[in-house]
Amino acid sequence: MKALATQKVWTDDQLLDLHRDGRKHEVWHGKVMTMAPAGSEHGDVISRLLAELANFAYQHKHGRVYDGQTGFRLGIDHCFAPDISFVSKERRKLILTSKERLFHGAPDLAVEVLSPTDSITKTEEKFALYLAFGTRLAWMVDLKSKVVRVYLGVNRFETLRSGQYLTGNSVLPGFRFPVSRLFEPPDFD
């Protein structure tokens, strides 16, 4: 992550204009951070999980699933774009003031897939903010260790490995996805 100029308050319009450069940006403690691109495995895991979540959420009419370009304002000092997010239809009405704007609040589910430049500590700090602003479930996918940490509260997580299942808990009731499918290449490779 590379920091851009510090500004007292970044407006939604200013943050949305930053996206025009084709790179991903987040606001940490009032500073805009530019995110480095990630590798192919990172993108593949995100795509597979995003497709499963979106298919399930739309089929059951639970809400909407968003990719890593969607911004969530957590106060004036933080704006994050999780790799995958889910917002229930009820919560969407509360935190989205306009379809062209950023969300003003946290998603119900936030998913971060660690890239080689991400740290668990920094991601946990981000999860603590998500949870403080209303996120009810967060998943940290660690490609290196081939585990998923499931957070239901600050520093309260369960580690899932191959042979176990990610579930939607009360956020996406009935969703179930084998952890092994995140880390195994497709059978056509």
* Cα-only R_g, the chain: 16
Nearest to 103 by CA among 58, 72, 62: 72
Res 2: pLDDT: 52
Considering the entire predicted model, what is its pTM? 0.91
pLDDT (0 to 100) of residue 38: 87
List residues bridging with 66 in a β-sheet.
Answer: 85
Residue with tokens 């969607």: 70
Res 19 pLDDT > 80? no
pLDDT of residue 183: 93
Q: Which residues pair with 6 in a beta bridge?
A: 31
How high is the mean pLDDT of the chain? 91
Distance, CA of 163 to CA of 181 (rounded, Å): 10
Predicted confidence (pLDDT) per residue in 90-138, tens digit = 999 999 888 878 999 999 999 999 988 889 999 999 999 999 999 999 9
Q: How far is residue 180's CA from residue 140's CA, in Å, rounded to a whole number?
A: 15
Q: What confidence tier does 22 reach under pLDDT thresholds 50, 70, 90?
A: confident
Question: What's the distance, Cα to Cα, between the start and end of the chain in Å?
Answer: 32
**pLDDT at position 4, please?**
55
